[in-house]
Amino acid sequence: MTILSTLLRAATAALLLVGAAAQARPEPAATPAATPALWRVRDADTSIYLFGTVHVMKPDVAWFTGKVKDAFDASDELVLEIIEPDDPRTLSATMAGMALAKDGVKLTDRLTPQARTAYQAAMQANGLPWQSFELFNPWMPGMALSIAPLARAGFSNELGAEKVLRAAAVAAGKKVEALESIEQQIGFFAGLPMDQQVTFLNATVDGLPDLDKSFDLLLRHWKAGEPDKLAREMNESLEATPQLARVLLTDRNANWAQWIKARLDSPGTVFVAVGAGHLAGSGSVQDQLKALGLQVDRVKK
């Protein structure tokens, strides 16, 4: 697999690894069965549920039922990757500030003539004025292009698992905490070397025709509770680019495992919800917990 196809998959996979700001108008809802995976780690007086989320969703996916809903209802506390600000302008301003190019080079000047033409056409086709991104680093339009087709297809972060869980937690008076800050999450992409940012952008542009299909397949595995298949589609591709895999996946999983281990020292029941890619494949949060000597069990019912 070439680095371009790998980073294209990474662009799609990012939606299962970090929060995304896709917006779309809801469609009429239906309720097909969905049974996403759930795990639990516990000791004598503490239970911590681990649930893998999808950050953008269509309104026809019914997942907050069964064992997932039961575990959430039994929990005293919800822990997410981040807590998004109530005003989306705050998030937009933070992203824009961190995406500004410090060297003053225009974005299109970083691209070859062929890549520039393809990029400009892709931005226009997705309703994104490329001229407005000229002062930004390549990861910014790369993420925008990863999300825009999904928004047009009916996916929305307003329907994503985090939004649903946080609203339910607030309504129930549960404590809500975060593992990371918004600045940390944006920094994962902002800190990539420039050559990798350019490759990431080019790969996203080249793969836009297959983006819907790739994400639909990931979502299908998530709904069916098939983390191994999800990992094969996503995490193995990320592992082919060690820098991206380390930044988006491995280091964060290790940090979260340490947090979970420390949280076991305090009694209670906690529902931890992070991107589904973190709970799938080699180096997952579960693997990191096992390396720390903790037992992690899949919740069947």
Q: Which residue has the higher pLDDT, 127 or 17?
A: 127
Instruction: Give the tens place of pLDDT for each residue, 240-261.
Output: 566 777 888 889 999 999 999 9
Q: Which of 198, 234, 229, 222 is nearest to 273 (CA)?
A: 222
Is the predicted pLDDT of residue 20 greater than 60, yes or no? no
Rounded CA-CA distance 129/131 in Å is 5
Residue whose entry in the numeric block shows the structure tokens 């997705």:
126
pLDDT reported for residue 156: 81
pLDDT reported for residue 285: 97
Q: In DSSP terms, which residues pair with 53 in a beta bridge?
A: 275
Instruction: Give the tens place of pLDDT for each residue, 210-236.
Output: 787 888 888 899 999 999 998 887 765
Instruction: Give the tens place of pLDDT for each residue, 156-207.
Output: 878 889 999 999 999 999 999 999 998 888 888 889 899 989 988 998 898 8
Instruction: Give the tens place of pLDDT for each residue, 121-137.
Output: 999 999 999 999 999 99
Q: Which residue has the higher pLDDT, 117 or 82?
A: 117
C-alpha of 207 from chain center: 19
pLDDT reported for residue 27: 40
Residue whose entry in the numeric block shows the structure tokens 């060690």:
242
